[in-house]
Every structure is written in structure tokens, then in C-alpha cells.
Amino acid sequence: MNSTFVISIACGLASALMYASLAGHAFVLFMLAPLPLFIAGLGWGAYAAALAAATGGAIISAVLGGWTAINFILMTAAAPVILSHLALLSRSPEQDSGEASEWYPQGRLAAMATLLAATGAGATLAISGAHTPEFKATLLKFFDTAQFRDVLMQSGRLNEAEISAVFNLVADVFTPALAGAVLTAASLICLWLATRIVARSGRLARPAPHLPSLQYPQFLRFAALASFAMTFAPGPAGFYALCFVGALTVAYFIVGMAVLWRLSRGASLQPFLMAAVLISVPLLIWPAVLVALLGMADHIFNLRARTSPPGSPPPTQP
């Protein structure tokens, strides 16, 4: 039997099992569900990723139903297939030129991963009717059932009206933004892990990613500005624009970390600084936002090129 076929089926089965693990509250496994699909795509081609995605979707449909399978395709399976195809695109040099093959730029690949994750998050929320008053009422009822209101009331820091305002803010703003951010982080982490795993196996055709030199294409800054502007639109348009704002915040956070790495290069406390920023992100929101703003400033003003020591090649725009 063809080894590519067997690997694709196995990766699809693994992805489906990891996706279904959310029922057992295994959130980390659920977020890593795209990883087997990325491994199949980067190691054996986009067709292998497509077969793995189809296998996973069929298993999810048979066990959990058609709507869950659609969510699996939107959230987990579509991006690895598309990104694997893009990652393996290359342009061969002219004969006797001595130049290496030109691969699809890593910055453009990460940008596409961000936009695909935001689109998948928005589509999944749309299927769930997340922008409707009924969904919001259900979410607010969950907050009361989980006794979040009682805990906040007992703390004495917020009154009843302020707690209701916080819950409404979570339902209207944080739900779509967090969905876009989490799905983008999961997609980019799985893409990075897959390249490492496939590279170890010797099957990675393209160069391994180099995060400190990550540079996004120009269109991403316009996507960020347009998404932010759309958040002020009334109704579903503003709600789903927040999916893109959350996703792009994660994308620019990565570049912001690259800027911090460049600025602190050579300092003895660099590992502690980078670790402190990463640890603070799950605990607080504002450090992530500040680092993301630093990343956007780098995208506009090319800060890393300005701070590069003499003789070192600065990151170039793709």
C-alpha cells in the first residue's frame, strides 16, 4: 500500500481524535489538532494534507455529526491544506546561476495563516449564531450558572451594574477577539512545530523558519487598519471584525517579540526578559497588546533594520 496514503489516513485519524478530545476538556490537545495535518502536508505534500483532512472530517461526521464536521473543517483542517500548498511553492533559479531556489516567503506564509485562522474563527462563530441576542443571552446565563457573578460580588470590588457591564463586554468584544487570537496562535504554533518535526525526519523541502527575521507583507498592515476600523460598524460586521483584530494582535505579537529579541541581543538578561513577557501574556492582556503594537511599529518603520549593528543584514520586506 502507498505509504503516503497510509500516513494521510493516520494523520487524519490523529487530528480527529485530538479535535474530539475537547469533549473531555483536553483543551491543549484540541488546539494541537491541526498539527498532524501540517505534518502530512509539509512532509508529503498538500494532497496528503487534503486526504488527511477529508479522513478527519469523515470520522468526525460519523461520530459527532455533520455540523461538528463542518466546524472541524473550518477551524482545523482547511488552513493546513492551504498553507502546506503555499509553503511548498518555490521558484527554481536559472541554470548555472548558482542561486538557491526561492521559496514562498515565511512572512507571507504567517500572514496567510493569520487571515485563514481569523476567517475560520468568524465562520465558526457565524454558524453558532454568536452575534445573535439568543447566543448572548445563553452566554450570560452561563456566567450566572458558573457563579462568576457571585464571586465578583463577594470580592466587593464591583457592584451589580458594573458586573453586568463586564459580562456584556466579554460577550460582545472578548468572545470574537479571543476566538480569532486563540485559533491564530494554535495555527502558527502547529505550523512551527510541524516544520521542526518534518525537518528532523529529513522530509522538509523548504528552509526551516527563522522567527527573528520574520517580516510581514505590506498588505497585512492595511488588513489590520481595516479590521480595526470595521469594529466600529454596527451589527455583525463589527462583531466579526473583532475576530481579525484578535488574530492580527497575535501575529504582530510575534513580530514584537522578534523586535525585543533584536533590541536585547547580547544582554545577559535576554532569556529572562523574553520569558517574563511570555509568562505575563496568559495572566494579563496589556503586555501582549503593547508587544503587538511594537510589532506593528516595526512593520511600519522597520525598527529592526534601524537597530541592526553594522555589518549585519537587516530583515528585508518580502
Give DSSP secondary structure letters for 1-66.
--HHHHHHHHHHHHHHHHHHGGGGT-HHHHHTTHHHHHHHHHHH-HHHHHHHHHHHHHHHHHHH-H
The pLDDT of residue 314: 52
Residues in the chain: 318
Residues 36-58 pLDDT 10s: 999 999 999 999 999 999 999 99
Is residue 298 scored above 60 in pLDDT?
yes
- Chain position carrying cell 462568576: 148
| Of 229 and 281, the one with more pLDDT | 229
What separation, in Å, do the N-terminal and C-terminal C-alpha atoms of the chain show?
41
* Greater model confidence, 311 or 271: 271
What is the rounded average pLDDT for all residues in the chain? Answer: 89
User: Which among 19, 233, 225 has a CA at the least distance from the CA of 131?
Assistant: 233
What percent of the chain stands above pLDDT 70?
93
Which of 91-105, 106-120, 301-315 tops mean pLDDT?
Answer: 106-120
The residue written with cell numbers 504567517 in the block is 110
| Whole-number pLDDT of residue 97 | 60
pLDDT exceeds 60 at position 200: yes
pLDDT at 94 over 80: no
Predicted confidence at residue 317, as pLDDT, reads 47
- For 184, the grid coordinates are 491564530
Distances, alpha carbon 205 to alpha carbons 41, 89, 100, 231, 236, in Å: 11, 10, 12, 40, 42
Q: What is the DSSP string of 113-154?
A: HHHHHHHHHHHHHHHHTTTSHHHHHHHHHHHHHTTHHHHHHH
C-alpha cell at 272: 529572562
- pTM of the full predicted structure? 0.90
Question: How far is the C-alpha of 13 from the C-alpha of 57, rounded, in Å?
Answer: 9
**Cα 95 to Cα 49: distance, rounded to the nearest angstrom:** 32
Mean pLDDT (whole number) for 68-94: 94
Euclidean distance between CA atoms 277 and 287, whole angstroms: 7
Q: What integer is the mean pLDDT of 78-97?
A: 87
State the pLDDT confidence band at 12, using cuts at 50, 70 and 90. very high
Burial class (CB in 10 A: 0-12, 13-18, 19+), 50: buried
Q: 35 near 194, Cβ under 8 Å?
A: yes
Report the candidate in 37, 32, 33, 42 with the shortest Cα–Cα distance to residue 11: 37
Contact between 166 and 158 under an 8 Å Cβ cutoff? The reply is yes
Q: Is the pLDDT confidence value at 299 over 90?
A: yes
Residue 124 CA, distance from chain mean position: 15
- Is residue 209 classed as helix, strand or coil in its secondary structure? coil
Gyration radius (Cα) of the chain, Å: 21
Which of the four pLDDT bands, split at 50, 70 and 90, describes residue 1?
low
